[in-house]
Structure 1
């Protein structure tokens, strides 16, 4: 009895360590992706390349899907130290490059906003999957049935969007796909954390991290429609920008002036009601009437 209890405690410690490694590696993949996406979004030379040569992203994304399929079905590859890490890094990198054609068409403000929204959604549903008492690994058939029904709904709405241009039909498509993915995020979290009917093996941390990363990628890919079409964050940033740079000050005679910090501030002066246009009151060259 004591021996069984010790084995159970050792297993729980190993499972917690496994889960921590998986989540840390997944976060590392996300950070790696964010850094490269920001480079593509901010550096115009790279942006132009992937705008004009989008097929580069298509090739890399296709290669990533082939590699991840081989990584899943050929188990021996996953357990060869060194080779497994190399393949995992290549898969992640190819997926990231595969998204560059879309990233090049968005702005960094929208990219950041939707990135953190997607990360928070994934983390939230990982947490939900970890704490809910219901064992989703026992109901995997129900999950697939729900996914199939949602797939029918999404195909309908995406066709309405493409052929009829029904308003917000693509948003409905995004929502239903996101729900499917987030349900599987909860399922994957339970298989990673253990203590359920189905569990991932303790030495399969790379596969687990790749699965979670691809869950995140699916959700993030869906946001590019909002990033490119609606541009919520970038439009909000533009509306909050000040049209003029400088400090508004009031002279003794009641006129309001703009005090510029530039050297040629006098050339952009706007005349006030009680002073000659282009001349500063009181002989101060830094004050120009507004």
Structure 2
């Protein structure tokens, strides 16, 4: 009985350590992304490159997705020390570069504002997933069914937006996609924190941090419509200065001390001639 308690305490300590490493790594990836996005947004020479050559970002993003598939399905790769870290850093960096084409078109105040909104949403729902008593890992089938239904709804409304230019349809699209992502954030939090039916292995911290980082990236991608089109942060951060007008200098020929008028001059010249 005592051995069982000791094993349970050791497991809980190991699980807390695992969760802490995962969340620290996730925050590190987010900070790394923010620094690079701000640099791209602020330096005109860099942003011009990615505006003109957006295909560079597309290539990096596609390669990142291929590396993610490789990292997930080739399980042995995740546990080769050195190679697993190299692949993780490459995936994160390629995703960050993949967003340069969008970041270069967004004002930096909007990037910062929506970055922190998305980070806040992720960690609020991580907290919710950690404290709710219901085990979402038992309902993974229900989650996937909901995700499929929401996927149909999002495709419907995005088609309305693209083809019929229906007002607010893109907002509905964003709302349903965000709901799907945040539900899975809670699910992922429960698998990371443990104590549920399904949980991640204690040596899979790199994969867990990548999963949370991808959740954040999806939310941040959805914010680019507001960043580029509406520009809420940059619109309200710029204060219009008052324009001051200078009084025009008086006309040199119309002042009270000016010389004689034209009629007086003509009259004077007539007298001289007479």
Give the Cα–Cα distance (whole angstroms) in 2 for the partners of residues 135 and 217 of structure 1.
Answer: 25
* Deviation of the 1:242 alpha carbon: 3.0
> 1:179 corresponds to which residue?
179
Give the Cα–Cα distance (whole angstroms) in 1 for the partners of residues 37 and 189 of structure 2.
Answer: 26
C-alpha change, 1:269 and 1:180, in structure 2 (3 Å) is: closer
> 2:256 corresponds to which residue?
none
1:160-217 alpha-carbon deviations (Å, 9 max, x no partner): 0000000111111001000000000000000000000000000000000000000000
Give the Cα–Cα distance (whole angstroms) in 2 for the partners of residues 213 and 234 of structure 1.
Answer: 26
Asked whether 1:270 is paired with 2:246, we answer yes
Give the Cα–Cα distance (whole angstroms) in 1 for the partners of residues 111 and 245 of structure 2.
Answer: 38
Aligned residues between the structures: 250
> 1:17 corresponds to which residue?
17
Matches within 5 A, 1:229-248: 229-238=229-238, 240-243=239-242
> 1:27 corresponds to which residue?
27
Give the Cα–Cα distance (whole angstroms) in 2 for the partners of residues 269 and 199 of structure 1.
Answer: 69
SS at match of 1:106: coil
> 1:76 corresponds to which residue?
76
> 2:260 corresponds to which residue?
none
> 1:108 corresponds to which residue?
108
Matches within 5 A, 1:26-65: 26-65=26-65
1:97-135 alpha-carbon deviations (Å, 9 max, x no partner): 000000011000111110000000000000000000000
Mark the structure with the bigger radius of gyration: 2
Give the Cα–Cα distance (whole angstroms) in 2 for the partners of residues 37 and 241 of structure 1.
Answer: 27
TM-score, reference length from structure 2: 0.89
Give the Cα–Cα distance (whole angstroms) in 1 for the partners of residues 102 and 124 of structure 2.
Answer: 26
Choose 76-85 or 24-33, whichever is displaced more.
76-85
* Deviation of the 1:269 alpha carbon: 7.3
Give the Cα–Cα distance (whole angstroms) in 1 for the partners of residues 171 and 190 of structure 2.
Answer: 29
Give the Cα–Cα distance (whole angstroms) in 2 for the partners of residues 155 and 180 of structure 1.
Answer: 14
Give the Cα–Cα distance (whole angstroms) in 2 for the partners of residues 102 and 217 of structure 1.
Answer: 13
* Deviation of the 1:68 alpha carbon: 0.5
Give the Cα–Cα distance (whole angstroms) in 1 for the partners of residues 245 and 87 of structure 2.
Answer: 62
1:243-264 alpha-carbon deviations (Å, 9 max, x no partner): 46xxxxxxxxxxxxxxxxxxxx
> 2:270 corresponds to which residue?
none
> 1:281 corresponds to which residue?
none
Asked whether 1:190 is paired with 2:214, we answer no
Give the Cα–Cα distance (whole angstroms) in 1 for the partners of residues 74 and 9 of structure 2.
Answer: 31
Give the Cα–Cα distance (whole angstroms) in 2 for the partners of residues 269 and 18 of structure 1.
Answer: 65
Root mean square deviation of aligned Cα: 1.4
Give the Cα–Cα distance (whole angstroms) in 2 for the partners of residues 227 and 168 of structure 1.
Answer: 16
Give the Cα–Cα distance (whole angstroms) in 2 for the partners of residues 242 and 180 of structure 1.
Answer: 44
* Deviation of the 1:270 alpha carbon: 2.8
Larger RCO (CA under 8 A, 6+ residues apart)? 2
Give the Cα–Cα distance (whole angstroms) in 2 for the partners of residues 48 and 34 of structure 1.
Answer: 19
> 1:253 corresponds to which residue?
none
SS at match of 1:19: helix
Give the Cα–Cα distance (whole angstroms) in 2 for the partners of residues 241 and 84 of structure 1.
Answer: 51
SS at match of 2:134: coil
Q: Which runs of 5+ in 1 are unaligned?
A: 245-267, 278-290
SS at match of 2:195: coil
- Structure with greater proportional helix content: 2
Give the Cα–Cα distance (whole angstroms) in 2 for the partners of residues 198 and 115 of structure 1.
Answer: 30
